[in-house]
């Protein structure tokens, strides 16, 4: 089963998703065009873009959230409503006391989390109850989509989205049918929507925000983008080799604002880490954002400097290989890493071919961050897009 999932993130499958991703990116650029020279919340649009991309890749449904408002929405009102709930549930998962108490308790006393959650879900007005209700509605909607796709057997066979691939795999053998119950398929598909949208959107917003404040970085990026073949979606191979400076910008943006604040592991046996003896069953929390600010690994960590990731440079050679782990590490590392990088690069290449971005006066500095299951910008990322023709 894991092979079915992993195969969807292999380069050959991902290359096939370029036209879909590029279509969503071009639509987003059209939406930006409507507010050219005016203030707009880039992070809101980025979340819509990332949700559209995952919608197509995971469910085979076009939510069309990033489209200019007047256009027809293929997914219809129901899809838009579903996604509004999804966006709400993503942003309401916070790790401070304004969020779910059971999540906070889980950080300090994991054993108490399940009983506390069970109790809090029954108390009106608690964040745990609100989150539980939203999640129930979302799960029901995902299960509806799964059921309708199941009925659609013949049409689905030629489709490349995640949900169709799981259902096709299930049709292939009795063992898979037993394993892939409708609830499990729904949960897996929904996991992808949740794991892949807010993370990618935050990273895109951070990168564009940071470039907007660093003219020397912007100039190098524009030079690289302008060297590529104009007005075509870059092929997978070009994306991998033709944009080394863009790669550095994305890595540095992910270091500067690390979207996943915590990575969790449970020890399966007694182990000693850094001189601390941990019993079997202990929870270990890794904070990649804290590691990313370690001056021993990243000199002047408060400076946004993509050059620190230049291949083979002194700083890069001296750095510990696990100092920068925005996608986690080991067998449970992010399966969507290549997917996210492909989407981020397509988006940045296309957007910077058409626009440069300036920070709006209504954007606070430094931006206020909100710590949730993933990081988000509390008040959004307010920018102004300037068309490259008129920016010259």
Residues binding ligand HEM (CB under 6 A):
191-192, 195-196, 199-200, 203, 259-260, 263, 326-329, 332-336, 339-340
Nearer to ligand HEM, 260 or 297 (CB): 260
Tokens of 351: 């957007």
Least Å distance, CB 58 to ligand HEM, is 7
Q: For 129-181, give the DSSP string.
A: HHHHHHHHHHHHHHHHHHHHHHHTHHHHTT--SHHHHHHHHHHH-HHHHHH--
Least Å distance, CB 13 to ligand HEM, is 11
Nearer to ligand HEM, 223 or 287 (CB): 287
Least Å distance, CB 82 to ligand HEM, is 18
The long-range contacts involving 31-36, CB below 8 angstroms and separated by at least 24 positions, are 31/66, 31/67, 31/68, 31/69, 32/351, 32/354, 32/355, 32/385, 33/68, 33/385, 34/68, 34/69, 35/385, 36/355, 36/385, 36/386, 36/387
- Whole-angstrom distance, CA of residue 193 vs CA of residue 86: 8
Cis geometry, peptide bond prior to residue 81 (ω within 30 degrees of 0): no
- Whole-angstrom distance, CA of residue 141 vs CA of residue 267: 35
Nearer to ligand HEM, 4 or 360 (CB): 4
Q: Distance between the two ends of the chain, CA-based, in angstroms?
A: 52
Tokens of 165: 């691939």
Nearer to ligand HEM, 9 or 386 (CB): 9
Nearer to ligand HEM, 198 or 356 (CB): 198
Nearer to ligand HEM, 57 or 363 (CB): 57
In Å, the largest CA–CA distance within the chain is 63
Nearer to ligand HEM, 113 or 199 (CB): 199
Neighbours of 95 (CB within 10 A): 19
Nearer to ligand HEM, 133 or 265 (CB): 265
Cα–Cα distances (Å) from 308 to 225, 298, 344, 359, in that order, read 20, 8, 20, 24
- Note whether 49 and 55 are within 8 A (CB): no
Nearer to ligand HEM, 375 or 385 (CB): 375
Cα–Cα distances (Å) from 63 to 22, 58, 149, in that order, read 15, 12, 16
Least Å distance, CB 324 to ligand HEM, is 11
Least Å distance, CB 263 to ligand HEM, is 4
Least Å distance, CB 392 to ligand HEM, is 31
Least Å distance, CB 284 to ligand HEM, is 11
Nearer to ligand HEM, 356 or 375 (CB): 375
Least Å distance, CB 195 to ligand HEM, is 4
Tokens of 374: 């993933």
Least Å distance, CB 47 to ligand HEM, is 12
Q: Is 381 helix (H, G, I), strand (E, B) or coil?
A: coil
Least Å distance, CB 298 to ligand HEM, is 17
Classify strands 382-387 and 355-359 as parallel, antiparallel or unpaired: antiparallel
């Amino acid at each position: 089963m894991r092979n079915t999932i992993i195969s969807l993130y292999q380069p050959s499958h991902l290359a096939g998703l370029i036209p879909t991703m590029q279509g969503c990116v071009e639509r987003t650029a059209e939406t930006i065009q409507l507010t050219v020279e005016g203030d707009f919340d880039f992070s809101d649009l980025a979340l819509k873009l990332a949700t559209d991309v995952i919608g197509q890749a995971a469910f085979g449904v076009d939510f069309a959230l990033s489209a200019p408002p007047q256009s027809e929405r293929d997914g219809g009102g129901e899809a838009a409503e579903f996604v509004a709930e999804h966006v709400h549930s993503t942003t309401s998962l916070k790790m401070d006391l304004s969020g779910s108490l059971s999540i906070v308790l889980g950080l300090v006393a994991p054993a108490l989390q399940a009983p506390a959650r069970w109790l809090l879900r029954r108390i009106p007005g608690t964040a745990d109850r609100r989150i539980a209700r939203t999640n129930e509605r979302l799960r029901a909607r995902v299960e509806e989509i799964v059921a309708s796709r199941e009925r659609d057997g013949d049409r689905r066979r030629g489709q490349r989205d995640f949900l169709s691939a799981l259902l096709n795999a299930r049709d292939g053998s009795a063992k898979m049918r037993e394993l892939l119950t409708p609830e499990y398929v729904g949960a897996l598909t929904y996991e992808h929507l949740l794991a892949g949208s807010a993370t990618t959107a935050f990273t895109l917003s951070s990168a564009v925000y940071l470039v907007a404040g660093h003219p020397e970085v912007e100039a190098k990026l524009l030079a690289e983008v302008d060297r590529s073949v104009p007005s075509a979606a870059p092929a997978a191979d070009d994306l991998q080799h033709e944009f080394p400076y863009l790669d550095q910008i994305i890595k540095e943006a992910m270091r500067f604002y690390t979207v996943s604040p915590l990575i969790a592991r449970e020890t399966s046996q007694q182990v000693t880490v850094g001189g601390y003896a941990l019993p079997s069953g202990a929870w270990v929390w890794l904070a990649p954002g804290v590691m990313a600010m370690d001056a021993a690994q990243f000199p002047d960590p408060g400076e946004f400097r993509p050059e620190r990731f230049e291949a083979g440079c002194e700083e890069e050679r001296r750095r510990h290989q696990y100092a920068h782990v925005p996608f986690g590490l080991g067998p449970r590392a992010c399966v969507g890493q290549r997917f996210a990088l492909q989407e981020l690069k397509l988006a940045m290449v296309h957007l910077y071919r058409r626009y440069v971005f300036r920070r709006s006066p209504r954007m606070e500095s430094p931006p206020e961050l909100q710590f949730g299951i993933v990081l988000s910008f509390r008040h959004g990322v307010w920018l102004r897009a300037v068309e490259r023709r008129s920016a010259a």
